[in-house]
Structure 1
Amino acid sequence: MSSKSNSPFKTKQSYSLQKRQLPPTITNTQVDKALISSPKPLTTVYSDVVKNSNISHTNTLKSISTQDPNKIIYKHIKNPCTEFLFFIEPEFKKNYKTPLDIAKRVFYPDWHYYNNHAQKTQTFYEFILVDTDSIQINPKSDPKNPGLITHTSVFIQKILTLSEWGQNPHYFKQFTASFYLPTYNYIDYMDAWKYAFIFQNIEDRHSWFFYFDKTFKKQTIPYWFVDWWCFYEPIEEILPPPIIEAFNTFTKHTESLALCPTMLSFFIHCKLSWIMYWDYVIEETPRTIPSLYRQFWTKWWNKYDLSKCNSETILLSLK
């Protein structure tokens, strides 16, 4: 007799239950704005993980002390790498002043990237990573507003290389569960890492909790994933002192891999986690074309047990 799974992660079958959702430009469906509920106030669950009054949009200060000297609240720090999205034409700025307004003017409604294939939604790319067992994903909702996903946990289990794909990158494979697009190829798989985490909620405030799962085995890291890491990576400035010490020990006692960042190898080896969110930013100077970029922010997870990763545990794990 089978019982219902208690796993918090989304199953492959759950994607089959989702209705096909296309942009209004494809369906020609008019949206009644009166039916859209106004944004809800931030909750305790949300503020503990993502943007809050303690976040400093600067990369100078890493943490602040609370009333309890034994506790530290870590701030989000800006990643120096930004992702170019598009040039901002004068028409875009005419009636849309903020970066978010301009993005909404250009992208499909509820999309935060451009794709020539209007059926390749964020859900499509997310399902690719779940279907290949590359990740497990667990969305978290506001208890007072279950329809509002405030943050999502992503457990990274593996990264498929082209050799593991087993065929030419343009050849297609079928999803293991029914889906409105039944197939995908390795190009889609690479794009999935880029677009699966571009989800945003109605309040435009959502964060991601990334974690290298204990099942993640030592493997060859594809170059395209190194490019992904440059944007999503937990930069060294967010690390607490014990983790920095452990990182320095790891660097000293391991051989660096060609074209693979040592920080990536360190996080994989220690199965570490970090928190990330993204937003939009306009970059312009008097002599450059104004452009819209995606800006990434990361911070350390406050609840991580620092005793699990220090110089001593690193040396023991490398024996």
Structure 2
Amino acid sequence: MAEQKSKKPMTASDYAKNQPHLQGRILTPNPYSALAEYPPLSYAKAAAEGSTSKETVPTSKEPETPTKSTYYVKPQKQHLMTTQFTKPITLPQLKAFVNRAFYPDCPYPTDNVTKNHTFYEFILVDSRSIEVTHYPDQKDKNTIAYSTCKILNIHQSKDLGFIHHHTTKPFVTPGFHIQGYTYTDYQNAFFRAFFLRPYDHSWFFSFDHNCSKAIPGWFAEWWYWFGPSDAIYPANLLKTSFEFYKKHIPDQPIGPLNKIYFHIDMGIPWICSWHFQLALHLQDMPYSLVREFRVKWWEKYNQDRCSYSNIQKHFDTIKQAKQIVQSVSKTVPLLLPSQLQQPSQKKSSPTTSTTSSSSQKRSKHSKKEKLAQLIDQLMN
């Protein structure tokens, strides 16, 4: 943990400065597990170690029962492309196929290799959407062992100043070889930036407690793939704490918003990894190349944060903050349109002007004091 604290998050300027080093660099597989041991998947283990075994690639697998220090393989598979394979193949054959299909820094279908992992990660960092830190392997500093990502905000198009999804806006930080990005690039970034390396790399995800809850609809799909599954939560956490939490918020019967809000407010992290696989995904078709996701509960999370008392305290604090804002807004009257017009040219006596000026100063001072108190209480 001491090593994690000493490592600083990536800044937007890091991507512009280190482009020759980051762009086009092939990340070598890391033979060491990230954050915790992976489940005993012979396929993933062989890929991580560069095995040349004749073992065939598994084509179907039941979701694993989550136990201590293991991942849960999500049952949904993300279809990438239909292959020519009509029967199981060996691991070297799969690796050769993947290397032909994808550019090393773009492990996804694309017709523009300049929009690679670095480009998409830069979009999210430059737009203050995520805070990411990459931790190098202790034996090979050029290899990323694992990464942490704190989601600061999921911006809607209007938040970033986009009118249309296809228009381009420049980066806040200059110096990148691509001058700007579209909102479609921004959406793709939330998916493609995290396809850093299959099999032996993991992401430690969490939300910032100030993350806006005005979440765009497309993020539900992100959660579908990268988000945690119900199977990994500790016993009764969803049945007790989550159900108690939902009583305090407007119910969202469709989609994962309730659970996303729960993770934001309770500071719940999780761990995610992914890998390639072959599967009979489409009916009456050859094997498909798919992407499988594995998720895991972080065992060091303090579950007391999800206790009834802390959840109640959280919503009581929000209620008090709203009451403070309402009381301040009542004491600071809104100006009428007539009061916003130019002042009258009629001259007033010096005594009247002095009295009026003193009264305005006292009023402004009182308002400043109340606003200062409000800010202080909200911060506490």
> Quick one: percent identity of the two aligned structures?
27
Contact 1:74 1:238 in 2 (8 A): no
**Aligned counterpart, 2:184:** 187
1:146 aligns with 2:133: no
* Cα distance in 1 between the residues matched to 2:30 and 2:157: 44
Gaps of 5+ in 2: 1-5, 45-60, 317-380
How big is each residue's C-alpha offset from its partner over 1:92-114, in whole Å with a ceiling of 9 and x where there is no partner? 98887654443222111343112
Correspondence list, 1:51-66, <5 A: 51=38, 53=40, 59-63=63-67
Residue deviations 1:157-179 (CA, integer Å, cap 9, x gap): 00001221222222211112210
SS where residue 230 of structure 1 aligns? helix
Match of 1:240 among 225, 234, 243: 234
Alpha-carbon deviations, 1:247-298, whole Å to 9, x = none? 1222344322364412222112222110000011211278333111100110
**Larger C-alpha radius of gyration, 1 or 2?**
2
Pick closer, same or farther for the CA change 1:101–1:263 going to 2, 3 Å. farther
Equivalent position of 2:279 in the other structure: 283
1:157 aligned partner: 152
Per the alignment, do residues 168 and 39 of structure 1 end up closer, same or farther by CA in structure 2, a change over 3 Å counting? closer
Give distance in 1, aligned partners of 2:304 and 2:126: 34
1:150 aligned partner, one-letter code:
A
Determine which structure has the larger helix proportion and give its number: 2
Q: From the superposition, tell whether residues 173 and 162 of structure 1 become closer, same or farther in structure 2 (CA, over 3 Å).
A: same
Secondary structure of residue in 2 paired with 1:316: helix
In structure 2, the CA distance between the partners of 1:291 and 1:91, relative to structure 1 (3 Å rule), is closer
**Structure 1 equivalent of residue 9 of structure 2:** 9
Alpha-carbon spacing, 1:158–1:50, altered in 2? closer, same or farther (3 Å): farther
Name the structure 2 match of 1:175.
171
Which residue does the alignment assign to 1:29?
none
Within 5 Å, give how 1:79-94 maps onto structure 2. 79-90=74-85
- For 1:223, the equivalent position in structure 2 comes to 217
The question of whether the paired residues in 2 share the 8 Å contact of 1:242 and 1:310 is answered with no
User: How many Å separate the matches in 2 of 1:144 and 1:95?
Assistant: 30
Instruction: Please report how far the alpha carbon of residue 80 of structure 1 lies from its aligned counterpart in structure 2 after TM superposition.
Output: 2.4
Aligned positions, number: 288
Output the TM-score relative to the length of structure 2: 0.68
Measure, in 1, the Cα distance between the counterparts of 2:253 and 2:108.
31
Task: Return the alpha-carbon distance in structure 1 between the equivalents of residues 241 and 194 of structure 2.
Answer: 29
Letter matched to residue 280 of structure 1: F
- Relative contact order higher in (CA < 8 Å, ≥ 6 apart): 1
Which residue of 2 is the match for residue 69 of structure 1?
A: none
Instruction: Report which stretch shifted further, 121-130 or 250-259.
Output: 250-259
2-side partners of 1:9 and 1:88: how far apart? Answer: 39
Is the CA contact (8 Å cut-off) linking 1:140 and 1:150 kept in structure 2?
yes
1:22, 1:118 within 8 Å by CA — same for their partners in 2? Answer: no
SS at match of 2:75: strand
Q: Structure 2: how far apart are the matches of 1:227 and 1:164?
A: 20
More strand by share: 1
Give the Cα–Cα distance (whole angstroms) in 2 for the partners of residues 263 and 149 of structure 1. 30
